[in-house]
A and B are shown apart, each in its own frame.
Chain A
């Protein structure tokens, strides 16, 4: 029985996504997308930058203390860059985005539904899918890769500050070692590809949970919780599969 309920939700979620995203985007929708990018992207900058800095710093500290026992402090740069670019950058950005922006999207759409704004739009002949759902999905797909790029940059910079400026690893070895080992597509590109897929998942879960929430206070709190829980689990599970496909020798 439970399985049927899940499949039912999945089916409705897929139909919602297809209905919202098919058809040519109109130029007049651009303003709506820009507004949403401001809300989900620009306003997430602070949490992303702060987390990235802390994560980069703590990674560099861990790598440094372990590697200096082999006298290989310069390898901090390589380790830091690979870990951040391939895994932590896309995954942590996606998790933070799900918590910071995904929940907000769900709550907003859920409240619109509760207060019957969505029905009112339909009455006025405005398609709520085009006006409410699609701009949020587009904004997510555009914002998450940008946030991931910023996360990666700040994390590596933060790691550099700790390893080079504070602990005294050699700055030449730190950067050239990194440049030798890190490949543009293999490490940076595939990490960005991951972030695009995470963005699709988060926005999909968030808009569907909002659109499908029960029009009560309890229903909305449940929907917001579900958005964060489902998208976090999806991100981590998908990350494993993506790593297997992108980096594993299948």
Chain B
């Protein structure tokens, strides 16, 4: 009888531990288990991503519609190739969609903002966004400002 109580207690204990892990996975780190959800990938080239991280938001009009999957550098052209995992099925974003790297909140989290285009044709899986604008880097801005200041004299 005593052994039985011990076994039940240990079972409850292990279960509580698993519950803790599930809580940490879903509620705290936001792991998405629903793999069945449809998604597709598109890429974009930026001259500078400055602090954009994988799993960062891709949003349009402030609504998250995708996540940054990977960021690589193209040594030949000297720009960054960002692969984005978009939710839903392809065929909604036009080929002249614009992509911009923006900053959010006090911590300066970088995310990608998409601007709607007007073209007839739409982006398919694996397509590339051509109309892009990289992150504003403060040092470059100041540098430009100083050159302009010098030039206007």
Pick from B7-15, B35-43, B73-81, B136-144 the stretch touching chain A.
Answer: B7-15
Beyond contacts A42-B9, A45-B16, A78-B107: 19 other A-B pairs, Cβ-Cβ < 8 A, are: A31-B3, A38-B9, A38-B13, A71-B106, A72-B105, A72-B106, A145-B17, A146-B14, A146-B20, A149-B17, A149-B20, A149-B24, A150-B17, A153-B20, A153-B24, A180-B30, A180-B55, A188-B24, A188-B29
> Which residues does chain B contribute within 8 Å of A34, judged by CB atoms?
6-7, 10
Residues of A whose CB lies within 8 Å of any CB of B are 31, 34-35, 37-38, 41-42, 45, 70-72, 75, 78, 81, 85, 143, 145-147, 149-150, 152-153, 156, 175-176, 178-180, 182-184, 187-188
B19 within 8 A of A: yes
Is B28 a contact partner of A178 (Cβ separation < 8 A)?
A: yes
Is A153 a contact partner of B19 (Cβ separation < 8 A)?
A: yes
Residue on A with the closest CB to B6? A38
> Which residues does chain A contribute within 8 Å of B6, judged by CB atoms?
34-35, 38
Is B21 a contact partner of A149 (Cβ separation < 8 A)?
A: yes
> Which residues does chain A contribute within 8 Å of B18, judged by CB atoms?
149
> Which residues does chain A contribute within 8 Å of B13, judged by CB atoms?
37-38, 41-42, 45, 143, 146
- Which of B7, B12, B24: most chain A CB closer than 10 A? B24
User: A81 vs B31: C-alpha distance in the bound complex, in angstroms?
Assistant: 15
A-B interface, 4 closest residue pairs, ranked by CB to CB distance from nearest: A179-B30, A146-B17, A149-B20, A153-B20
